[in-house]
Amino acid sequence: MFKKSIFSQTFFYTVFVVLFSFLVMGTLMYSMLGNYLLQSKEDSLTEVAESLSDFTVKLARHNVSYPKDNYQMNVDALSVSSESFIVVLDSHGKVIVTTSGYEAANIRKEYYENVINGQSVRFTDTFGGLFNTTTLTIGLPIRYENAILGAVFVSVPVPEINQVRYGIIQIFFFSASLVLAVALVVMYTLSLRITRPLKVLNNAAKAIAQGHWEQRVTIAEQNEIGELGDAFNKMADSIQQLENMRSSFVANISHDLRTPMTTITGFVEGILDGTIPPEKEKQYLSIVLDETKRLSRLVTDLLDLTKLEQGSFKFENKEFDINETIRLSVIKLEKRIMEKDIHLSIGFQTDNLRVFADRDAIQRVITNLMDNAIKFTDEGGFIDIRTGLSDKNKVFVSIQNSGIGIEEQDLKHIFDRFYKTDKSRSLDKNGAGLGLFIVKSIMMAHGENVWAESQPGEFTRFSFTLPPASKESSEKNPLISQ
């Protein structure tokens, strides 16, 4: 089947519209111009007939003895100036004078009868066979006081009128042809300019669909197509980033699943076949238990991620002390903090700072952020935790740690799912890149913000806000479901 491109459709439809428009204009112009020329010629003939009628009446009024030859000369002069045929009849229909060369003309009664009776007539025919071609004829009575002295007929061939019309139409179509030629060039160029970027976008989209994630487009136009090109490149960046994260996630998940499973399998086999002595079985079973818990945490994160994305994760808001929640989280992580000899400082603006949110979810946010801080803090480094009430009547929590920091290009993606700044896994050996994404999702579900700041080589600080506990907040937010 023939494939119609946007270029061909745009170009040929535009050409069709232009040609159709010219055709309609030409047809209307031909029709209206014919009517105009006929009306114009009719007015001209009427003026000639009235002029000759007035001249004849003046002669009759003054009873001037005017030679017929002189009268003939006047008729011929009018006939030449108006390019028409003139005939003058008396009141009985007898021809008095005609344009020279038609002296033998005989006008039939049906043509002059109404005029002799005082009516003006207009007809288009051969004037009773007087002419070999169709003519436009105007007939006027010659009135003198209350009497009809005769009639004046003035005729002009219709083909001459049509000839003028054809000439004007030829000029119109010649001009239209020149305009059409210019329009075709302009439309061809414009169609190419519009469709060429679309073709580039189409080819780039096909390339991305085939797995060439690095494909981008360059469109210089400063219009909607240029904006479409920018949007396409941003979409391609997102797709490539998502693909990179997907590949990284598959690798990370494979590693995170294989390592504990290998450990568990090896130790269990060692216990079963007696390789591990009975007195050490408890020690190795403890390791197996830790690895099982690690797998359980990974599966829990994946399940929670699915719930968050599907909107089925429920949050139940209630009033609690955020400072107390932080203290409990620190106690749970105390062993890891001490193992790395991390200096921990906590600064609470007030001893008791109550907020209105889902306690379990917020504790998970704090735990994830502190886990991150411990993981990336060098031995002997510091972690600083602060809470307080901001100028905007929001409770804020910040967790800052020393360490390598986060580069600017990574900082904007830090909350993306499966994203890991530590690509080598030298520091983050257990994470799958889900912790910060879950943090971001929880805060968004609460209608609050979370953000990261960092100075590479010096510090990283994560902060988030919560609504302070009050009667109003309790009434407004009894339950939030994401």
User: What is the topology classification, in CATH, of domain 6-163?
Assistant: Beta-Lactamase (3.30.450)
Domain ranges in the chain with CATH number 3.30.565.10 = 314-481
Domain ranges in the chain with CATH number 1.10.287.130 = 224-310
pLDDT, residue 64, reads 64
DSSP H helices in 210-280: 224-272
> pLDDT class for 1, splitting at 50, 70, 90?
very low
What predicted TM-score, i.e. pTM, was given to this entire model?
0.48
CATH number of the 224-310 domain: 1.10.287.130
Domain ranges in the chain with CATH number 3.30.450.20 = 6-163
> pLDDT class for 253, splitting at 50, 70, 90?
low
User: What is the topology classification, in CATH, of domain 314-481?
Assistant: Heat Shock Protein 90 (3.30.565)
**CB-side neighbour CA atoms (13 Å) of 237:** 8
Q: Is the pLDDT of residue 153 over 80?
A: yes
How many percent of the chain have pLDDT more than 70?
A: 86
Question: Residues of 253-285 as b/e, b for ≥16 C-beta within 10 angstroms?
Answer: beebeeebeebbeebeeebeeeebeeeeeeebe
C-alpha Rg value of the chain to the nearest Å: 51
For residue 479, how far is the Cα from the chain centroid?
Answer: 40
Chain mean pLDDT for the chain? 81
pLDDT, residue 157, reads 86
